[in-house]
Structure 1
């Protein structure tokens, strides 16, 4: 008899589709999730946004904001450490369905990048359900452009290969390439796709659709049509401000 593999819901983004709200919500509900049979991973660099998964999986010569921010390197040592950390989490939650979220995974474009991700996850022991959130391409690029310009140390690029290139032919908005890669490695029917624009029109928030895609119970999902949840709390904003001015840890 073949033993059933542990389920992993892998939220892969894309950027600018409510990922932070989803991550804050799941992070704040860790204890409640366990009571429902789910476990939300705690990241090594950000507790709720598991940036190491994509920062280590990406080819060493490719750009990733989190690499510069946290000094994450794509090395065998980093790969082994991330794998050991995740396997410790998996072993501690063998009876739970697992959840990982980082929108940076939508930046993966190459087979070897997915192979490194699979090494970190121990994919052979898991039933992986990738969850992709897509929005109108023009709106996505406009929002991504604003995000770049919010940071004084970033600037727009004319290089089509750059992560800061946001013209209409940007590789960032090649959603077909994202879908093809994930279906190739995890199966045609494994990938779950959420239409961000439809979710916003229906629920005024993408959060309910994302949680439903993870097969979470109805009792855990905010009521559709309710006021958009502001999961980025006042306390969290104060902490970020203090860190920015050098007063926080």
Structure 2
């Protein structure tokens, strides 16, 4: 096997534009190949190489229904990398791997020159984006209010704790092999292209974005789960909510709570950025919103509008 010049391991985190990036790289594989970069269809699940991450985490593939085997996935990946000079492997499921699993991945890829690329996000907006995702997803039983997570935001999702997650990658690979990008610095695709040494305006098809649901829709979905609506009813509600609440404001969280979340991770993020030679950009004093006027995420008339939408379409 020809030794690879560079293997870029894009590890997420969740809610940092990974879906759009993976979709664009999948659709633009031919364009990337013409510029000397492979985006291999190995360990494949939903536009990316998730199955090798699933194997390390012992997660089931929801499409095939199996729990991937790490050695088998690694062998599949190695087969398509033979003779390739530069490749990108992506999965946000890598981000929160424990150090022992990171070591196993490093050792499995030892024949290659691996460089890790991670994207972090300001803790309060990360928190809200993950909450939105969990609340809107039908069938997951998630019906808890935001207030349940304010004392320990990482219990909503471990990816919010970027310093803890990336600490293992820095320990295993070394700071010289880990690039930390910031979500706030621009869209994921141009940032990744810059890391690859490619033009940021390279003509790649747009990947599908994982659109957030307005605040009223988030609350309607959360309440549906708390009230034990069936999964099918939740799916129908999500469709109607997207239509009914189009143009409504995003989910509201007070400036005080936003700053509180950022403050909880300030020391951890300061240590993380110090390890990669950067100043911590995520401090409570930079958190601001244009309109901090308190507003309910859903009102009675919003619920009535939702009901009216359903009644207007008997097929629902």
Q: How does the TM-score come out when normalised to structure 1?
A: 0.71
Alignment of 1:15-30 (within 5 A): 15-30=14-29
Q: What residue in structure 1 maps to residue 122 of structure 2? A: 136
Q: CA deviation at 1:177?
A: 1.3
Q: Which residue of 2 aligns with 1:198?
A: 185
User: In the alignment, is the contact (CA less than 8 A) between 2:159 and 2:165 conserved in 1?
Assistant: no
Per-residue deviation, residues 143-198 of structure 1 (Å, max 9, x unmatched): 1111112222213388xxxxxx7852433311111221111111111111111113
Tell me the CA shift for residue 98 of structure 1. 0.8
Q: Tell me how large the CA RMSD over aligned residues is.
A: 2.9
Rounded to whole Å, the distance in 1 between the matches of 2:70 and 2:188 is 32
Distance 1:28 1:177 in 2: 33
Cα–Cα, structure 1 residues 55 and 4, in superposed 2: closer, same or farther, change >3 Å? Answer: closer
CA distance in 1, matches of 2:154, 2:22: 29
Measured in 1, the distance between the counterparts of 2:46 and 2:174 equals 29
Once structures 1 and 2 are overlaid, which stretch shifts more, 40-49 or 171-180?
40-49
Match of 1:34 in 2: 33
User: SS at the partner of 1:155?
Assistant: coil
Find the aligned partners of 2:141 and 2:175 in 1 and give their Cα distance. 37
Cα distance in 1 for residues equivalent to 2:200 and 2:128 = 34
CA distance in 2, matches of 1:34, 1:145: 37
Alignment-derived partner of residue 55 in structure 1 = 54
Q: Would you say the 8 A contact 1:13–1:105 is kept in 2?
A: yes
Which of the numbers 78, 94, 97 marks the counterpart of 1:87?
Answer: 78
State the partner residue of 2:176: 189
Note if 1:209 corresponds to 2:195: no
By how many angstroms is 1:11 displaced?
0.7
Query: 2:175 aligns to what SS in structure 1?
Result: coil
SS in 1 for 2:176: coil
Q: Report the Cα distance in structure 2 between the residues aligned to 1:153 and 1:219, rounded to whole angstroms.
A: 39
Measured after TM superposition, the shift of residue 231 of structure 1 is: 2.3
Q: Shift of residue 7 of structure 1? A: 0.6
Q: What is the TM-score when the length of structure 2 is the normalising length?
A: 0.57
Q: Determine the structure 1 residue equivalent to 2:135.
A: 149
Matched residue SS, 1:25: helix
Q: Could you say what secondary structure the match of 2:116 adopts? A: strand
125-134 vs 94-103, greater mean Cα deviation: 94-103
1:104 aligns with 2:89: no
Contact 1:10/1:100 (CA < 8 Å) preserved in 2? yes
Partners of 1:208 and 1:221 within 8 A in 2: no
The equivalent residue for 2:111 is: 125
Q: Separation in 1 of the partners of 2:185 and 2:40?
A: 28
User: How does 1:211-230 map onto structure 2 within 5 Å?
Assistant: 211-218=193-200, 220=202, 230=206
Distance (whole Å) between structure 2 residues aligned to residue 55 and residue 82 of structure 1: 10
Residues 101 and 141 (structure 1 numbering): CA distance in 2 closer, same or farther, change over 3 Å?
Answer: same
Q: Does 1:231 align with 2:207?
A: yes
1:73 aligns with 2:67: yes
